[in-house]
Amino acid sequence: MNKLPAAKRSQILTMMVEGVSIRAISRMTGASKNTIVKLLADAGQACAEYQDTNLRGLTCKRVQVDEIWSFVYAKDKSVPEAKKGAAGSVWTWTAIDADTKLVPCFFVGDRHADSAFEFIQDLANRLTTRVQLTSDGHKPYLQAVEAAFGGVIDYAMLVKHYGNAPEGKSTRYSPAECTGITVGTVSGRPDKKHISTSFVERKNLLMRMGMRRFTRLTNAFSKKVENHFYAIAIYFMHYNYVRIHASLRVTPAMAAGVTQELWSMGDVVNMIEDWEAKNSQAGNSN
């Protein structure tokens, strides 16, 4: 089977994380759409597995969590009966270390309690020290944090209150005005100076800017939830290991001590090819 050269793979993956759509990538690189989608799937699986294995034993002190909405195939009101359960709204749960800006984990699912539990349990399994956690007022966090951390956490909720959305054609897409904030301690003794969700909300904005699948009012949405997951895994691999954070002057993975080296997208491609070789050998042995 023909395989794209490493340099072309690096170019395509770089375009993916910079918000270029698959069809645009095909036009600019000459690679077929099917080839690009196949690379998306392989690279997504490799990046997800690598981060799942290596982002552990973390010493984060202050973590912020949030959820970001998108949709797959169609918005909820337009999902056909045959696609119920496999299409519609999709929520990506994300966490960020406020100090190193590392994203230790993410979870793609719905916005219900089961997803909250899986996401928070995964986060807890990656940490080795007591952490201060801040979330918004989404209620499933309460039981999820208690189940995953017990009382060994300093946890606060930051709840924003909004007024009515603006009316009129010129403001129909404007956000509702924030009218106030309520901060509540749930467990432990969180430092009030660090009760914030600003970093995770900023990171969610970067996701919308860096992945066409998250852009509002777009026709570039994911058609399959699997491809949605793969795109996110590639994005966070680049974000954690390749992209230098402007204020830190290093990548989040370097700041967190996960790696001592600055990765390039070429290094990511090498990791993907090692993953492909390992899986090919496992398939041949079976």
Q: Tens digits of per-residue pLDDT, 14-36?
A: 999 998 888 899 999 999 999 99
Q: Comparing C-alpha atoms, which of 20, 76, 40, 18 is closest to residue 228?
A: 40
pLDDT in tens, the chain (286 residues): 468 999 999 999 999 999 888 889 999 999 999 999 999 999 999 999 999 999 999 999 999 999 998 888 888 888 888 887 778 888 999 999 999 999 999 999 999 999 999 999 999 999 999 999 999 999 999 999 999 999 899 999 988 777 776 665 555 556 677 777 788 889 999 999 999 999 999 999 988 888 877 776 666 677 788 999 999 999 999 999 999 999 999 999 999 999 999 999 999 999 999 999 998 877 666 5
The pTM score is 0.90
Q: Which residues make beta-bridge pairs with 159?
A: 182
Q: Which residues make beta-bridge pairs with 107?
A: 93
The residue type found at 149 is F
Q: Comparing C-alpha atoms, which of 123, 105, 122, 127 is closest to residue 47?
A: 105
| Domains of the chain, start order | 6-285 (3.30.420.10)
